[in-house]
């Protein structure tokens, strides 16, 4: 068992509960540097007295971090890697979620106003038959990722006319470039882990992944 407190003291930050967890790692805030986060190997967290007390910590997945460094266009920047932890770029996930909701609202308006168009498309049909649909119900990043596949290209061109175009283009271009880059050949199941909690913008407004 590795004491998490010793790791946090080494980094000169206060013990806190995790801010996120992916397939391989747990993420913590880096209070000394607000534009960075800390990733440790995933494990069983014991939370007591309002903070993280200890963790059965697994090793860092350095193969994953190597993918981050090999494809910086698509993944958060890695500042430091040790045997115990990695320091990576913090992304603006809230701005990404805000844009996601704008696209989702546009999609809802579309399926409600154009039911025939929606019901003739496999990707849209589940949304077209749900009268109580809310933006929170749609993982729009996952949806647009599938639009970039060649079999869905025509639908993507049609949807661009109905959704906020600047945001749609940003998402679409990112996932299209991702699909054509060869990154998926290095990923589990040969597919990126696309969901709204795994993406955010860097300081320049570029869309990137926080995890694979």
30 and 83 share a domain? yes
164 and 190 share a domain? yes
Domain of residue 58: give its range.
4-89
123 and 205 share a domain? yes
**pLDDT for res 49:** 44
143 and 70 share a domain? no
29 and 62 share a domain? yes
CA distance 192 to 145: 9
| Sign of the C-alpha dihedral computed for residues 93, 98, 99 and 105 taken in this order | positive
71 and 110 share a domain? no
120 and 181 share a domain? yes
188 and 102 share a domain? yes
132 and 166 share a domain? yes
- Taking the model in full, what pTM does it have? 0.82
84 and 100 share a domain? no
37 and 125 share a domain? no
CA distance 126 to 149: 19
10 and 71 share a domain? yes
Give backbone dihedrals phi and psi of 70, rounded to 5 degrees, phi first.
-75, -30
Q: Which of 89, 107, 137 finishes a domain?
A: 89
Tell me the residue length of the chain. 212
CB 131 within 8 A of CB 140: no
Q: Which of 38, 64, 89 finishes a domain?
A: 89
Q: Which of 71, 89, 107 finishes a domain?
A: 89
**pLDDT for res 123:** 85
Domain count, the chain: 2
CA distance 81 to 175: 27
Beta strands 85-89; 36-41: pairing state: antiparallel
Mean pLDDT by 10 residues, the chain (212 residues): 53 64 80 87 57 60 90 94 89 95 92 81 84 89 89 86 93 92 83 86 95 82
**pLDDT for res 22:** 72
User: For residues 11-47, b (16+ Cβ closer than 10 Å) or e, as one string?
Assistant: bebebeebebebebbbbbbbeeeeebbbbbbbbebee
pLDDT digits (tens, 9 = 90+) for 134-189: 998 999 999 999 898 888 888 888 888 889 999 999 999 999 999 888 888 888 77
The CATH number given to whatever domain includes residue 79 is: 3.30.200
């Amino acid at each position: 068992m590795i004491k998490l407190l010793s790791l946090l003291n080494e980094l000169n930050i206060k013990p806190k509960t995790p801010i996120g967890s992916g397939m391989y790692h747990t993420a913590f805030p880096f209070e000394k540097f607000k534009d960075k986060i800390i990733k440790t190997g995933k494990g069983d967290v014991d939370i007591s007295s309002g903070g993280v007390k200890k963790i059965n910590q697994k090793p860092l997945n350095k193969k994953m971090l190597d993918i981050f460094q090999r494809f910086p266009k698509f993944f958060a920047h890695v500042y430091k890697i040790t045997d115990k932890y990695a320091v990576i770029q913090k992304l603006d996930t809230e701005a990404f979620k805000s844009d996601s909701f704008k696209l989702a609202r546009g999609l809802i308006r579309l399926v409600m106003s154009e039911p025939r168009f929606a019901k003739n498309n496999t990707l849209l049909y589940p949304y077209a038959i749900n009268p109580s649909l809310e933006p929170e119900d749609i993982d729009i990043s996952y949806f647009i990722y599938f639009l970039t596949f060649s079999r869905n290209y025509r639908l993507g061109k049609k949807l661009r006319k109905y959704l906020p175009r600047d945001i749609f283009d940003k998402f679409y271009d990112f996932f299209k470039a991702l699909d054509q880059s060869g990154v998926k050949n290095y990923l589990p199941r040969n597919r990126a882990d696309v969901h709204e909690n795994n993406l955010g913008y860097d300081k320049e407004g570029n869309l990137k992944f926080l995890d694979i």
